[in-house]
A and B are shown apart, each in its own frame.
Chain A
Amino acid sequence: MRTLAVLIPLDTPQQRQRAMGWAVIALVAFGFVLRLYELGDRALHHDESLDAWFSQRYAEGSYEGYDPVYHGPLRFYITAALYWLFGTGVGSARLISVVSGTLLIGMPWFLRKRLGNAGVLVVALILAISPSFLYFSRFAREDAFFVSLTMVFVVVLFAHIDHPREATLIGLFLALVAMWSVKESVFIVVLVVGSFLLVEFASQLWEQAGRRPMDSYAVVSWGLLGVAAFLFALRGTITDSMVFHMAWWGGSMLAFVGYAWYLTTKARNSPGKTRLGRSVIKPGFDGWSSAVAIAIFSFMAIFTLFFTEWQGTNTPSTESNSVIDGLVGGWKYWQSQQEVNRGGQPASYYLFIIPAYEYLTVGLALFGARRAWVHSTLFGRFALYTSIISVAAYSYAGERMPWLIVHPMLPLLLLAGIGAQDLWDHRHRALAKGSALVLVAALVLTLTASFQVNYLDPENPREMLTQAGQATDDLADTVDRLYVIDRLFQGEMGRSPKIVIDSSLSWPYVFYVRNLDNVLWQSLDTAVPADADIVIVASENRQGVAEGVPLFKAVEQNHREWWVAGGGGTADYFGGGIGGWWNWMVNRETWANDGGYDGVGAVSETVFVSPQVAEMELRANDLGVGG
């Protein structure tokens, strides 16, 4: 340590801050490398291939506009730009997640006054190496991008609360528009952060009215949580439940704010003198009108494909026009999906999957919760409140998927940062020393888990971060094989081989084979084209195809694999008991058979190649060329 102290002087706050700056830069660089390493190697997930394909469509000018089934369009634009820069491919499709996931690592720096040096470093470290953040920062869905925008929103929000200016207000609105243009989770963010601000504002008004400060806040927040829990229990029993619940929740908070406002004015104090009131008033009419105008302009630009498409996509949830659809289409669609429960996971899903991978964060967040409760600060209250409400909101929302865990994880991370700083501040206490040992062990285990799921076997269906849409390694190998065959075939035959793919296996093949000339998509429950050179068929049609092309050489493999804890597609996280969890944690052994091969569920496929193709492959293999 002494040698280290000589190398890195830490005597003054400036020196410590400088060292921390370097450490954050190093973590950002390290995180960037982790995200880029073998980026294109994992086979595309079904959803990734869709995102990659929509981006390609936008690049080619055939993207039609916002359809909430596939979320907001902003990332398609950016990924199309990345295709333009780096070429179209799996790596480029994942690049937006890589870049946003990397930038996210550095963002705690901007909260250093609130998190403290130790807090910033720990949050940045977890963001860099956490299994879930790393996994979904290398995943071509919108979640890493959205979470980064959420973090930007949080950073700018606190900058605005500290020093309300027109610039920060515009920044807030732009972040909101960007989030709105990426994913419908913006409604949850607005709900969570908005409700916090209302509660906080009510609390400040209460204090302004001369009442005791903290108690009121606790009463309000717990009261509202109680309302939420009550409504949560009534889930599904009330018609149009989401709207109803939101109205209840929001209305009750607004009522309280109104009451506190009344008390403040009655005490002849101005609500504008509260901290949040000042942040609303200070930018003035000019500031607000500029921010709103810029937000409207940006929103319209994004949802109208930069003022080129006003009609909208005319789906059941986007029936108006591009702008109105952008505003309400997402809400309409996801409200209609609330009862569908895609993914088949229980409401308690995140209570299992988050600790299963993110025990380090959860552990530190517990310390952070204690600190936030005992030493109440605005940021601490924010982190505590949003952590609880986010987990509740995502648990309540009908679709529960592995990639969504990074959303409720974000406030938990802020809480973890507060916890880390608390432990550092009290590092001489026995409890802190003991906890540190446990946390170091948790860090090692986190690194191991992260390495395993991100690099060692990222398609492993037994990992809870992988999902049913994950294609197998065999599929990726088949794609490589198709390109080699195409190259051989063209040279020998002067044409591309005719490849017929069962339409039920379209994704992710559609994106993968985009550069092949002669691909036919067809339901193979009927006859196979007589001139086919390669046929890829789903298991249910295998027999028929095998009879149609008796001389073809066949290889059977899995197209997608999954494991839903509990087996048979029904999640049961208690099914394995403690022993089942232990075996899963240590060996990734499943506690229930999900059907198919080796206890995991699968969609299988068979690749048939003609004798001519097989002979060419053999010859190339003998010559040692063509991979």
Chain B
Amino acid sequence: MTLFTALFLLLCIVVGYGITGFASLGLRVEERLPIAVIVGSMAVTLTSLATIALVGFSGGAVVIGSLVALALSVFGWRRLPNTLWVDGADFVHRLRQSGSANDNPWPLLVLVSLCWPLTIRIMSLAYQTGPNGAVQAGHLSVYGDWQAHLAYGSAFAQRDGLDLTTPLASGEDFAYHFGVDLFAALTVPTGIDMPAGLTITTGFLALAIPPILYMFGARLFERRSIAALGPLIFLGAGGLGFFRFFDDVRAGGWGVLWSQPQDYTRDFDTLWMDNPVLGHLYAQRPTMIGFPALLVVLTLVWRAVDRRTILAAGVLTGLLPLFHTFSWGTALLLGSFWVVLRRREDALWFVVPAVVLAAPVVAWLIPPSPSGTFRWHWAWVSDGAPWDIAWFWLWNTGLFPFLFVMGLTWRAAVRRELAIAIAPIWLWWVGVHLALPHPWPGNNAKYAIFWWMLGAFVVAAVLVELVREATQNKSATSSITLGFVAIIFASLIASGSLDILAAVDGSGGAYPATTMSGGEVLVGEWAQSTADDAVFVSTPDSTSQPVSALGGRQVVSASSGWVYDLGLNWLERAEDSKAMLRGDPGTEDLVVKYGVDFIVIGPGELRAGANVTYWDAAATLVYDLSGVRVYEVDQERS
């Protein structure tokens, strides 16, 4: 990270801190700062997007965009009720109070002191330089999903103008909530490369998530214990996969703890929900803004005392689709319900901006043929019988659903109004049993995760209430109850914790794994020197896509899985790419059809049957280094 990168991120916080002033909710410094990270990043991304559209992508555009955001935040700064010093002094004052004082933020400090080192560690392992200059991924999230995010980011950072064609499938619209990847791209002019930009911005946003989760718990449930426990239950969530761990221990001894042979929250056979940190936040980068922004919106709506705060929540919701469409949908639906529930007279001040601001982006994001991907389907990936569904959720989330229901009906744990407000999140859970909106069924977890996130606080409330009653009654069963609660809590986070442990270990399992060899990194660098709209052919069989990931250039078909997931004609593109690499009859027509400029032949392409002899004769060799060749195609000749 360079000084300019740090200054850029600091500026985002300054912008965001000012923006928090637009809501009149009396936030505390430990609440404003993490919110500032999220909303500041959003604001700088949006204003920079506008300047990039006007003047193209450059350091100057980022500076202008950032300054515009800063100028806008000044109005918020002027509305802040206290100076930073007063807020800071208040924090220190509360910290010095008795530990039992409800305002003392020590549980938050404990929470972040647990979460932040793990976050930094995971980020430090995300991209590693392996032997021979290879780029290595420290986790499946990076090996798979981040390569696509790298391409999205590079599509901005390595092209001069604003070109909203996806680098993964030439000629197609971006049609992806790319905000968080654009945010990462904005750091490239500060002197770092795209993988570093992706890592640093992810870490930056991730550090804000535990305090925002805490704030949500504290503001809605008004108990620090719930505020601290809820994030742990959510971030450490997993099902009963940890039972497999005991099998592994029996087979390999306790040493397997440091070299786990498998994941315990995901196998895409019986375990589909995945751990929220690894499967949803780390891998799905848009959630890094979407989830915390959703929680901020809900907090604002819940605690709003005036119309201004409701409007701020509505505007924040309306700006969400570019960053995370799923969170926008949840914020809009749940937020609307909550505002009707609590401040019906101000409902339009939330709904109108949340819909109007979002509408153009949402319209643009709708896949080319949504009817081709959406389908009604009963019971998601379980067999459909009630018992199968029950078993599926028990296996995937443990006692969570039971405790969630218990919390919503137990008044001592969750007061009635709050239970009513949270209850509709079960519709998300029901929804995943009714339809498959995306080509791959695993994507349904992206909806169920909201149920998990909000439910975590309800479950925390149940556990806290059980402990409270047990410690107050001091009856013979108290110890049994406490032990019972401890076991439940452990069971809720055991699988997730094991997977997180594997992610921070960095020395066991399949990772680090090479995503791009040294030679591929070099060709990715070289691709940056080609025309912005150049189209490449590379293998669709690999997630190693240096031309798009580092060069930001379009390929006919990047990894088939990504193209498939976008709802595009993935199979046709994949087959056409392979045919061109092989030099099959009709290659000339395909070259013209896709407007191909370059053919890449490296180790991956050779495995896919690429024909070097054909391309030696049919095109001009313009790059030959470190095991990778690139041919320039004369389309007219083709």
Contacts and interface: CB of A to CB of B under 8 A. Distances in A.
B443 to A, nearest CB: 32
B85 A18 contact: yes
B85 A36 contact: no
Contacts of A620: 522, 625-626
Contact of B132 (A36, A38, A86, A487): A487
Given A21-B85, A515-B129, A623-B526, A490 B117 contact: no
Contact of B626 (A483, A491, A496, A517): A491
Contact of A490 (B120, B133, B526): B133
B132 A625 contact: no
A484 interface: yes
B525 A625 contact: yes
Contact of A624 (B85, B117, B526): B526
A22 B85 CA distance: 8
Nearest to A620: B625
A487 B120 contact: no
A207 interface: no
Contact of A86 (B85, B120, B628): B120
Interface in B197-233: none
Given A488-B626, A490-B626, A491-B628, A625 B131 contact: no
A132 B190 CA distance: 29
A87 B117 CA distance: 13
Interface in B256-272: none
Given A33-B6, A490-B519, A517 B133 contact: no
A488 B519 CA distance: 6
Contacts of B130: 515
A486 interface: yes
A591 to B, nearest CB: 36
Contact of B625 (A21, A85, A491, A517): A491
Contacts of B96: none
Contacts of B517: 490-491
A224 to B, nearest CB: 42
Interface string B441-479: 000000000000000000000000000000000000000
Nearest to B522: A625
Contacts of B129: 515
A626 B628 CA distance: 14
B518 A517 contact: no
Most buried by B among A22, A490, A491: A491
A92 B253 CA distance: 34
A491 B128 contact: no
A516 interface: yes
Contact of B623 (A86, A484, A488, A623): A623
Contacts of B3: 33, 36-38
A410 B587 CA distance: 75
B128 A496 contact: no
A41 to B, nearest CB: 11
Most buried by A among B85, B518, B529: B518
A548 B529 CA distance: 41
A616 B626 CA distance: 8
A85 B132 contact: no
Most buried by B among A33, A488, A616: A488
Contacts of A86: 120, 124
Nearest to B523: A625
B312 to A, nearest CB: 29
Interface in A21-44: 21-22, 33, 36-38
A530 to B, nearest CB: 23
Contacts of A626: 522, 525
Interface string A29-69: 00001001110000000000000000000000000000000
A487 B117 contact: no
B131 A515 contact: yes
B518 A516 contact: no
A625 B526 contact: yes
Contacts of B522: 487-488, 491, 620, 623, 625-626
A306 interface: no
Contact of B518 (A18, A36, A38, A490): A490
Contacts of B124: 84-87
Contacts of A619: 624-625
Interface residues of A, number: 32
Interface string B53-69: 00000000000000000
A357 to B, nearest CB: 24
A531 interface: no
A492 interface: yes
A96 to B, nearest CB: 15
B416 interface: no
Interface string A84-113: 111100000000000000000000000000
Contacts of B526: 623-625
Given A37-B3, A86-B124, A492 B626 contact: yes
Interface in B99-123: 117, 120-121
B625 A625 contact: yes
A620 B519 CA distance: 11
B521 interface: yes
B627 interface: yes
Interface string B506-531: 00000000000111011101100100
A515 B136 CA distance: 13
A186 B380 CA distance: 66
Nearest to A517: B131
A483 B517 CA distance: 13
A59 to B, nearest CB: 11
Contact of B117 (A33, A37, A85, A515): A85
A366 B89 CA distance: 36
A233 B578 CA distance: 86
Given A21-B85, A624-B529, A491 B519 contact: yes
A227 to B, nearest CB: 47
A491 B131 contact: no
Interface string B297-327: 0000000000000000000000000000000
A370 B501 CA distance: 59
B131 A488 contact: no
A624 B529 CA distance: 9
Contacts of A623: 522, 526, 623, 625
Contacts of A490: 131-134, 517-519, 626
A488 B125 CA distance: 24
Contacts of B85: 18, 21-22
A487 B128 contact: no
A516 B117 CA distance: 28
Contacts of B120: 85-86
Contacts of B132: 486-487, 489-491, 496, 517
Most buried by B among A86, A489, A496, A625: A625
Contacts of A516: 131
Contacts of B624: 619
A514 B130 CA distance: 11
Contacts of B128: 87
B124 to A, nearest CB: 4
B121 A488 contact: no
A511 to B, nearest CB: 15
Nearest to A496: B132
A492 B525 contact: no
Contacts of B133: 483-484, 486-487, 490
Given A488-B519, A616-B625, A625-B523, 5 more contacts: A491-B132, A491-B517, A491-B518, A491-B522, A620-B626
23 contacts: A18-B85, A85-B121, A85-B124, A86-B120, A86-B124, A484-B133, A486-B132, A487-B518, A488-B519, A488-B626, A491-B132, A491-B517, A491-B518, A491-B628, A492-B519, A496-B132, A619-B624, A619-B625, A623-B526, A623-B623, A625-B525, A625-B625, A626-B522
State the 7 A-B residue pairs at the shortest beta-carbon distance, nearest first: A491-B626, A487-B133, A491-B519, A487-B518, A490-B132, A491-B627, A87-B124
Interface of B: 3, 6, 85, 117, 120-121, 124-125, 128-134, 517-519, 521-523, 525-526, 529, 623-628
